[in-house]
Amino acid sequence: MMEQFEEEEEQQLSDQSDLLTGNEDQVEDEEKPSQGQEGNSGDEWDTDLETDSATDQKQSQSRAELYLQACQRTGSVPVSSFLRNLGDTNLNLNHYGVGPLGTKALALVLQTDTTITNLELEENSLGPEGTRYLTEMLQTNITIQSLNLSNNQLGREGAYTISKMLSENYYVKSLKLSGNDFDDAAAKYFADALKGDYVIKELDVSHNMFSFTGGQHLGHMLAANVGIEVLNLSWNPLRLGGAMAVSAGLKVNSTLKQLDLSWNAFGQMEAESLGQALKNNRTLVLLDLSGNHVDDQAVTLLCQGLITNGTLGVLKLSQNPLTNIGALTLLKTVKKNMKSALEEIDISTVFVNEEFVELLEEARQKRPALDVRHSAMSYVTRNLSALQILRKFLSERNESIMDFFEALDKEGTTNVSTSDFRKAVKAANIPLDQQQLEWLLRKFDKNCTSTIMYRSVCDGVSRNILYLIFTMQT
């Protein structure tokens, strides 16, 4: 397939019929293609887009005139947004239906442009043909640093064309190629071009079809690449060997800072390989695993790396089959790792219990910046408010929780039976419902001995009550 593409490329490059030669007789003799002929315009393409004499002519005209002239000669409809935003560094033509010939007209103008740094062409039906025009333009344009070609039906042929550009261009640093029907063969083109590359800093190849071998190619690329800092691989069916190869590449990569693996197929085996990567990786600060198959066991395996990792700051795990058990495992691991840099954890689709909230409270006392997004049933919030209700009731009577217990401890043993506490709460008409009262009893008598050792209870309450009040209010 690569040989076929190379032959086609050579054929395209051998065609020297330039659109803007400056020769009026040639322009008059040239047949102007209609909109319906866009698919056949590839034969008109040539290496340099125009001759030196035409370059001199272009420099004497305004960009608007050049663009309108190029549209006329390619038979394409001018995009008004381009004309309205002349002089801006950001050219956003997303969703304008530019098409291959419209892209050709743009390329003719942009090849010597020194203003535009960000070119947005998402969802414009460029296809492989329009892509060729852009990559030819980038041979002479040295200003464009960010290029968005997402959702343009580029396919394998377009991937090959872009990979050749990547091997030769030293100016484009951000490349978005989401939703272009790239398969595993396309992944190899990109991987071969980016091995050892140091120019591309941001690459988005989400919403494509990379799976087993595609993941292997990308993993090998990650192991050798020395430039990419942000990589988006979301919405690809990466799993098993492909996913584990990506993890293996991450393990030795030294530049990647953000990795989006959301909405793939990472389960237990894949999470274990990621955990091993996190043991060694020292640069990754954001990992998105939302929408995968990460269950409680998978989180346990992932935590094998989190227990020692000191650089990861953001971990996203929403939309996974996690339960409160996995959430507790994760939080205990983060709390135990004194070197952990995690400040943001998203498990917003996991419904946690009171134990998790209290453990989070303890962790935040030492690490106030820790933000764990989670969900909780109303009864959990209600139970957690029981301490606040008890404390507020007693403070209105100028009593503390210690005073309440000491009044029940007639013999000064520092112990009170759970039945005596229950009776005293009801007798005092403290506004706790039965569920809140039973939760308080379980909290005070964690070993189920039917006895409350209230001095240790009160010490814990005095340390935590203010934070609990803040948690309930926010």
Mean local confidence (pLDDT), 287-310: 98
Q: What is the pLDDT at residue 463?
A: 46
Mean local confidence (pLDDT), 107-130: 96
Interacting residues of 197 by C-beta distance below 8 A, sequence separation 6+:
166, 225, 226, 227, 228
Closest by Cα among 150, 151, 145, 175 to 163:
175
Pick left, alpha or beta for residue 113 (phi over 0 → left; psi -120 to 50 → alpha; otherwise beta).
beta
Query: Cβ distance 74 to 101 under 8 Å?
Result: yes
Query: Which residue segments constitute the domains of the chain, with CATH numbers given?
Result: 63-376 (3.80.10.10), 380-471 (1.10.238.10)
Mean local confidence (pLDDT), 173-202: 97
Interacting residues of 336 by C-beta distance below 8 A, sequence separation 6+:
307
- Name the more confident of 96 and 63: 96
Interacting residues of 310 by C-beta distance below 8 A, sequence separation 6+:
282, 337, 339, 340, 341
> Binning pLDDT at 50, 70 and 90, where does residue 238 land?
very high
Question: SS3 of 452, please?
Answer: strand
Of these ranges, 111-125, 367-381, 408-422, the one predicted with the greatest mean pLDDT is 111-125
**Phi and psi for 434 in degrees, rounded to 5?**
-60, -40
- Torsional sign, CA 418, 423, 424, 426: positive
Q: Parallel, antiparallel, or unpaired: how do β-strands 230-232 and 258-260 relate?
A: parallel
Burial of 396 (0-12, 13-18, 19+ CB in 10 A): exposed
> Binning pLDDT at 50, 70 and 90, where does residue 41 land?
very low
Burial of 249 (0-12, 13-18, 19+ CB in 10 A): buried
> Binning pLDDT at 50, 70 and 90, where does residue 336 land?
very high
Q: What is the pLDDT at residue 49?
A: 52
Asked if the model's pLDDT at residue 106 lies above 80, the reply is yes
Asked if the model's pLDDT at residue 178 lies above 50, the reply is yes
- Name the more confident of 450 and 271: 271
Query: Cβ distance 381 to 354 under 8 Å?
Result: no
Indicate the helix (H) or strand (E) that contains 373. strand 371-376
C-alpha separations of 72 from 21, 35, 191, 354 in Å: 14, 11, 39, 69
Mean local confidence (pLDDT), 185-207: 97
**Phi and psi for 446 in degrees, rounded to 5?**
-65, -25
Q: What is the pLDDT at residue 388?
A: 86
Q: What is the pLDDT at residue 4?
A: 47
Mean local confidence (pLDDT), 35-55: 41
The 8-class DSSP code of residue 431 comes to S
- Distance between CA atoms of 204 and 150, rounded to whole angstroms? 9
Helix, strand, coil share of the chain (percent; to 5):
50, 10, 40
Work out the number of other CB atoms within 10 angstroms of the CB of residue 143: 15
Closest by Cα among 113, 108, 189, 116 to 147:
116
Asked if the model's pLDDT at residue 59 lies above 50, the reply is no
- Distance between CA atoms of 79 and 67, rounded to whole angstroms? 9
Burial of 466 (0-12, 13-18, 19+ CB in 10 A): exposed
Question: What is the percent of the chain where pLDDT is above 70?
Answer: 83
Average pLDDT along the chain = 86
- Distance between CA atoms of 412 and 405, rounded to whole angstroms? 10
Which residue has 């190029």 as its token pair?
70
Asked if the model's pLDDT at residue 98 lies above 90, the reply is yes
Asked if the model's pLDDT at residue 247 lies above 70, the reply is yes
Asked if the model's pLDDT at residue 396 lies above 80, the reply is yes
Burial string for 227-243 (b: 16+ CB within 10 Å, else e) reads bbebbbbbbbbbbbbbb
Closest by Cα among 158, 164, 163, 135 to 45:
135
> Binning pLDDT at 50, 70 and 90, where does residue 145 land?
very high
- Distance between CA atoms of 355 and 372, rounded to whole angstroms? 14
Which alpha helices (H) appear in 152-267, and where do they start and end? Answer: 155-168, 184-194, 212-224, 240-252
Interacting residues of 61 by C-beta distance below 8 A, sequence separation 6+:
69
Burial string for 122-136 (b: 16+ CB within 10 Å, else e) reads bbbebbbbbbbbbbb
Structure tokens at 371: 């933000």
Q: What is the pLDDT of residues 434-472, one digit of tens each?
A: 988 888 888 888 888 888 887 776 665 544 544 444 444
Whole-prediction pTM value? Answer: 0.81
Q: What is the pLDDT at residue 122?
A: 98
